[in-house]
Structure 1
Amino acid sequence: MPITAVWPIESPEDANSGDGVTLTEPDEVDGLLARLAEPNAGVATVWHESRELADEDEGMPDHDVCVAVRDGYGYLSYIDVEHDLAVPEGDPAAPALHGGDVEFPEGSGVSLDTLAEALREFLRTARRPEAVTWRALEE
């Protein structure tokens, strides 16, 4: 049950630069997080390949997951048909992160170990991870 992640790369030479990876094994999550920690990596959109599509014609997943790594913190958001948009209850010292499809508020960044655990759980279960405590965001 693979997950796929795609993210933009900030590049003055190529405005449409990006990267991506498909993970099939839990031990591959650390490599994804290392790539997202690179200075020009943007917020990744992640989807689980085994979940139902919300729109077959458009290929739109029934869930939206965003992941980022900045300044030693991991950021994660999750929404699907059963759950409102939410981020983890993170470290109160974690700064806000702006970018991608979601704004991560102050205090929503978690340790990289916690983020890795949550992504491994998502890879394994295709469900919203229980490795973190979630707080709903206003849309």
Structure 2
Amino acid sequence: MTITAVWAISSPANTHAGDGLTVTEPSGVDELVDRLAEPNTGLAALWHEQREAADPDTGMLDHDVVTAVAAGFGYLAYIDTDHDYAVLDGDPDSPPLHVDDVHFPAGSGVVVDVLAEALREFLSTARRPVAVEWREVDPG
């Protein structure tokens, strides 16, 4: 199984800075989470390479998954053809996070180990992780 992740890097010297990682083994999730926790790292878009496209003609994905690590918390949002847009039901003390056009409400951050476990499950199943609790939110 394979997850591809890409993210922007905030850099005054290069407004188009970014990075990415392809994860094929569960141990690669730890590297991904570590890299997302680096300073100036933005929101990562993830896609699972083994999922079918929603529209084979355009290649449009059947899922939209984003994740971030900020203020010591991991954030994850998920939507697919079977699930409405949801974020993790996390630590009530986790702050809200606004990155680009994605809003994670307060209480949707989890300890980084929980995020890593959810991402390992996504890697192995290609489905929304069930080992974590979700709450539906308005994606706007």
TM-score (normalised: structure 2)? 0.96
Q: Give, in angstroms, the shift of residue 52 of structure 1.
A: 0.7
Contact persistence 1:66–1:101 (CA under 8 A)? no
The aligned residue for residue 84 of structure 1 is: 84
Contact persistence 1:52–1:62 (CA under 8 A)? yes
Contact persistence 1:54–1:62 (CA under 8 A)? yes
The aligned residue for residue 108 of structure 1 is: 108
**Number of equivalences:** 139
Residue 135 (structure 1) aligned with residue 100 (structure 2): no
State the AA in 1 paired with 2:73.
Y
Unpaired runs of 5+ in structure 1?
Answer: none
Q: Give, in angstroms, the shift of residue 16 of structure 1.
A: 0.8
| Cα distance per residue 1:67-107 (max 9 Å; x no partner) | 00001100000000010000111000000000144200000
Task: Using the TM superposition, name which of 79-88 and 100-109 deviates more.
Answer: 100-109
Counterparts of 1:121 and 1:43, CA distance in 2: 20
Counterparts of 2:22 and 2:86, CA distance in 1: 24
Q: Give, in angstroms, the shift of residue 58 of structure 1.
A: 3.0
The aligned residue for residue 36 of structure 2 is: 36
Within-5 A mapping of 1:42-57: 42-57=42-57
State the AA in 1 paired with 2:79.
I
Q: Give, in angstroms, the shift of residue 61 of structure 1.
A: 1.0
More strand by share: 2
State the AA in 2 paired with 1:44.
A
Within-5 A mapping of 1:111-126: 111-126=111-126
Q: Give, in angstroms, the shift of residue 56 of structure 1.
A: 2.5
The aligned residue for residue 73 of structure 2 is: 73
TM-align CA RMSD: 0.9
| Runs (4+) off by over 4 Å | none
Q: 1:130 to 1:101 in 2, by over 3 A?
A: farther
